[in-house]
Amino acid sequence: MRKYVAGLFLGIFFIVIVGMVKATPNPAAPPTTEPSIDPVSGQPVGQITAPTNLSTAATEATTWVKYIHNPIITPTLDSWNSEKVGLSSVMVDSTGYKMWYSGNNRVIGYATSSDGLNWTKYLTPVLEPDTTGNWDSGYVMVPHVIYHEGIYKMWYRGALKADTSYGASIGYATSPDGIHWTKYPGNPILTTRSLNKKLSSAYVIATGNNYQMWYSDLPSSKINYATSTDGINWLEYGGNPVLRKGLEDSWDNEAVAYPYLVFNGRNYEMWYAGNYSSIGYATSSDGISWSKFPNNPLFEPGAKKSWDSNFTMAFAVVLQNGIYKLWYSGRDANDKTQIGYAFKGAQAVISPTVDSQFTYNDDQGNPTTVEVAAGSVNKVVTLIFNEITYFQAPSGFRSAGHAFTLEAWDGKQLPTFVFQQPVTVTISYSPADINGLNKNKLKLYYRSNNVWLDTACGQYVRNFVKNQVTVPICHLSEMALLEQIPITSGEVKFIYLPLILK
- The SS3 call for residue 35 is coil
Q: Is pLDDT of 28 > 70?
A: no
Topology agreement, domain 65-343 and domain 346-485: no
Predicted local distance difference test score (pLDDT) of residue 97: 98
Contact between 223 and 257 (Cβ < 8 Å): yes
- Taking alpha carbons only, the member of 262, 300, 296, 291 closest to residue 280 is 296
- Average pLDDT over every residue of 324-338: 95
Handedness of CA 436, 441, 445, 451 (dihedral sign): negative
- The SS3 call for residue 439 is helix
Domain boundaries, the chain: 65-343, 346-485
- Average pLDDT over every residue of 424-433: 96
User: What is the band of 243 on the pLDDT scale with cuts at 50, 70, 90?
Assistant: very high
User: What is the band of 52 on the pLDDT scale with cuts at 50, 70, 90?
Assistant: very low
Cβ neighbors of 321 (< 8 A, separation 6 or more) are 48, 388
DSSP state of 227: E
User: What is the band of 220 on the pLDDT scale with cuts at 50, 70, 90?
Assistant: confident
- Average pLDDT over every residue of 259-265: 94
Q: For the chain, give the percent of residues with pLDDT over 70.
A: 83
User: What is the band of 193 on the pLDDT scale with cuts at 50, 70, 90?
Assistant: low
Predicted local distance difference test score (pLDDT) of residue 450: 87
- Each as own residue / partner, the long-range contacts of residues 223-226 (CB below 8 Å, 24 or more positions apart, any chain) are 223/256, 223/257, 223/259, 223/270, 223/272, 225/287, 225/288, 226/190
> Could you report the per-residue pLDDT of 160-186, keeping only the tens digit for each?
888 777 779 999 999 999 999 999 999
- The SS3 call for residue 440 is helix
Q: Is pLDDT of 2 > 90?
A: no
CATH code of the region 65-343: 2.115.10.20
Predicted local distance difference test score (pLDDT) of residue 218: 76
Distances (CA, A) of 343 to 83, 117, 293, 298: 26, 11, 17, 11
Predicted local distance difference test score (pLDDT) of residue 161: 87
Out of 22-26, 273-277, 466-470, least confident range: 22-26
What global pTM score does this model have?
0.84
- Average pLDDT over every residue of 437-444: 95
Contact between 299 and 305 (Cβ < 8 Å): no
Rg (CA), the chain: 26
Mean pLDDT of the chain: 85
User: What is the band of 219 on the pLDDT scale with cuts at 50, 70, 90?
Assistant: confident
Contact between 48 and 320 (Cβ < 8 Å): yes
- Taking alpha carbons only, the member of 200, 117, 207, 195 closest to residue 407 is 117
Predicted local distance difference test score (pLDDT) of residue 487: 67
- Each as own residue / partner, the long-range contacts of residues 457-463 (CB below 8 Å, 24 or more positions apart, any chain) are 457/422, 458/422
- Average pLDDT over every residue of 424-435: 96
Q: Domain 346-485 adopts which CATH fold?
A: Chondroitinase Ac; Chain A, domain 3 (2.60.220)
500, burial (CB in 10 Å: exposed 0-12, middle 13-18, buried 19+): exposed
Of how many residues is the chain composed? 502
- Taking alpha carbons only, the member of 65, 162, 53 closest to residue 106 is 162
Contact between 56 and 389 (Cβ < 8 Å): yes
User: What is the band of 63 on the pLDDT scale with cuts at 50, 70, 90?
Assistant: confident
Contact between 409 and 342 (Cβ < 8 Å): no
DSSP state of 430: -
User: What is the band of 13 on the pLDDT scale with cuts at 50, 70, 90?
Assistant: very low
3-state SS, one letter per residue, for 300-358: CCCCCCCCCCCEEEEEEEEEECCEEEEEEEEECCCCCEEEEEEECEEEEEECCCCCEEE
Out of 31-45, 222-236, 257-271, 472-486, least confident range: 31-45
DSSP state of 265: S
Q: Is pLDDT of 344 > 70?
A: yes
Contact between 316 and 260 (Cβ < 8 Å): yes
- Average pLDDT over every residue of 142-156: 97
Angstrom distance (rounded) from CA 468 to CA 430:
9
Angstrom distance (rounded) from CA 459 to CA 473:
10
The angle subtended at Cα 201 by Cα 195 and Cα 205, nearest 5°, is 130
- Average pLDDT over every residue of 140-165: 92
Q: Is pLDDT of 274 > 90?
A: yes
- Average pLDDT over every residue of 181-194: 89
Q: Is pLDDT of 225 > 90?
A: yes
Q: Is pLDDT of 58 > 60?
A: no
Phi, psi of 440 (to 5 degrees): -70, -20
Angstrom distance (rounded) from CA 451 to CA 395:
10
